Amino acid sequence: MASGRAPQRRPAGRLERGSIDIAGIRRTYWLARAPQPRAPLLIVLHGSGMTGKNMARFTGLAVRGPAAGMTTVFPDGWKGVWHPVRVPAREPALDDARFLSQLTRRLEAEGAASSWPIVLAGVSNGALFAEHLARHGLLPVTGLFLVSGTALEVSRRAAPVPLLRSTMVCLMGTGDRSVPYEGGSLTRRGASGWVLRRRAARHGELPGDAVVAGAETVVRDWATGNGITGGPAFEELPAQAGDPTVTRMTWSAPGCRPAVLYRVDGGGHGWPCCPGEIPRDPPPAAVLAVTARGRKGRRPPAATQSRRASPRATPRHLDATGLLLEMALLARGDDPTEPPASPLRLPAVPSRGRGPVGPRGPRDPEPVQGGGDEVDRAPGA
């Protein structure tokens, strides 16, 4: 049974820190409450080396999520990483899927949010884990939003067609040097790559696991799972001078939840409309010392602490946070009086109940499957 410290209640739009005990391990999270009780829940997963607090500030969702009527939670991965496929063999209690499932129940019991429906978003390593959770029905997800991440092939082989029907949006750059747009091995070069490989191995990654499917393949999986048999419609979005071209590919059909891909030509690894950098906590001094060997005493390059994109890597005219919040409204089955001024324009789909996860929430995953700071101003708010 989960226990832990509930976050101290604060005014809407402020970030609170809380914790929950999962199988004897203390897991932490950051919460931004909506003004109304039992609001719809948005879960946002950070990338490797980040924290939930990083993600809240980086995306602006600590302010913009509650303002849109969504209680927004930013869980912390264990030591900055999510295990995307399985529980680490050496740490069977580190079950991230169980952590998120019990966290949703905790928030519902406190009256902060409803445990269904859930909108799930992630960037990079967080996107890979979010896709795995939704694909295998480990959370009752009605909206899935992926940025700079698709799906691991090992997860996709276990479930070629997603088990849930969910509105799905993916933003990917064709020039992403970490998660290749066309699919293939994850790129982990240099000192920062050594840190990433070390983290992944500690979180249960096996040889051959670090291979992703292509962006168009993954979005097509979700279109198929949603009952869509036709191909996508293409639309090139208006761009600002110097920005990369963005093409929206939309798979849709009457009565089906849509699947949408934003293809950023030449785009890199980042959250569009935020600074062209994914913030990361500095690695431990011991890691810096190891990676500095053979470099004549010099510290590893700055890439160990952050992954900076080129000036053209993330388009300024594409507001990923705004697209996420618009998708969240549509995934809930709402019909906003004034639609957001973003170019998503997804068709609203009425709710069809809780689907294959059943009326009492998701099944508990098997182990092998598997007082806070305030945010005064967040990027993009």
pLDDT value for 282: 40
Domains of the chain are 15-338+346-357 (3.40.50.1820)
Q: Are 61 and 40 in contact (CB under 8 A)?
A: no
| Cα Rg of the chain, angstroms | 19
What pLDDT was estimated at residue 151?
96
For helices 96-110 and 125-135, the axis angle rounded to 10 degrees is: 80
CA distances from 58 to 72, 73, 178 (A): 14, 14, 19
CA nearest to 176, candidates 266, 245, 105: 266
Q: Find where tokens 């099944």 sit.
A: 363
Residues of the chain predicted below pLDDT 50: 1, 12, 275-277, 279-312, 334-381
CA distance 30 to 26: 14
Q: Using one digit for the tens of pLDDT, what is the confidence trace for 265-320?
A: 999 998 987 644 454 444 333 333 333 333 333 343 333 333 344 444 567 778 99
Distance CA 75, CA 103 (A): 9
Run of H or E residues at 43: strand 39-45
ω into residue 117 within 30 of 0, thus cis? yes
**CA 85, CA 93: separation in Å to the nearest integer?**
15
Residue 340, pLDDT score: 33
Smallest CA-to-CA distance from 23 within 81, 109, 91 is with: 91
State residue 94's pLDDT score.
83
| Predicted local distance difference test score (pLDDT) of residue 207 | 67
Q: What is the pLDDT of residue 305?
A: 34
φ, ψ of residue 269 in degrees (nearest 5): -100, 100
Specify burial of residue 311 (Cβ count, 10 A radius: 0-12, 13-18, 19+).
exposed
